[in-house]
Amino acid sequence: EDQVTQSPEALRLQEGESSSLNCSYTVSGLRGLFWYRQDPGKGPEFLFTLYSAGEEKEKERLKATLTKKESFLHITAPKPEDSATYLCAVQAYSGGGADGLTFGKGTHLIIQP
Amino acid sequence: GAVVSQHPSWVICKSGTSVKIECRSLDFQATTMFWYRQFPKQSLMLMATSNEGSKATYEQGVEKDKFLINHASLTLSTLTVTSAHPEDSSFYICSAKDYGKEKLFFGSGTQLSVL
């Protein structure tokens, strides 16, 4: 069974204080690891997809990295508007089907001005 | 970018009634759509996979007779919660896969409250 564990559950930072969010996963065969941002009462907003260990992707203040067992979402000099819940999800190979994602519980990030 | 429209955003209904939620892909054809449920402070849980023109595939523990899914066209999937009860109150989110691409796009979600 695919599993995704995110830590910490919640994180409060001062504006400009950089940090990292962790996503540990176990999956039979990783097809892709996804990061999403979710604001309260909204659906997830796509951020990144990573496919293989060593891969990195960046978007503004966010950078996602991937190893064989975990992924990190690094946030550099965050601003209050970066406050949200960040979700990690994995998609596994299943012999050709279009599979849904297995999500972690998310990290609730608060950036204080 | 691709947009997935989900309606309604919220609905309140009486116990025993049925509620239909729509999920549309606005600028791409979605051969596959997914339905998720999210309880407060919990992760999104996949309920079912909806394939255009065929029966939906339900995850273990999800009652197919209670959560009816119809994917009649390449741009529309519906989820009907039949005979809703208070324990069905949750945030329901759909997502759609653009054909030939890996990225999944999510709707804005529907908050269902059953009284």
- Rounded Cα distance between A65 and A49, Å, is 10
Do residue A42 and residue B42 have CB atoms under 8 angstroms apart?
no
Do residue A43 and residue B42 have CB atoms under 8 angstroms apart?
no
- Rounded Cα distance between B72 and A113, Å, is 48
- Report pLDDT for A97: 46
Among the partner-chain residues B34, B102, B107, the one whose CB lies closest to the CB of A100 is B34
**DSSP at A93:** -
User: Which residue in chain A is spatially nearest to B103 when comparing CA positions?
Assistant: A49
- Report pLDDT for B2: 64
Interface residue B21 vs chain A (CB under 8 A): no
- Rounded Cα distance between A53 and B37, Å, is 30
Cβ atoms A37, A84 nearer than 8 A = yes
List of chain A residues with pLDDT < 50: 95-97
- Take residue A49 and report the two structure tokens written for it: 């997809």
Q: What confidence tier does B18 reach under pLDDT thresholds 50, 70, 90? A: very high
Strand residue runs (E) in chain B: 4-7, 10-13, 19-25, 32-38, 45-51, 57-58, 67-73, 76-81, 90-97, 104-106, 110-114
- Report pLDDT for B51: 85
Contacts of A33 in chain B (CB under 8 A): none
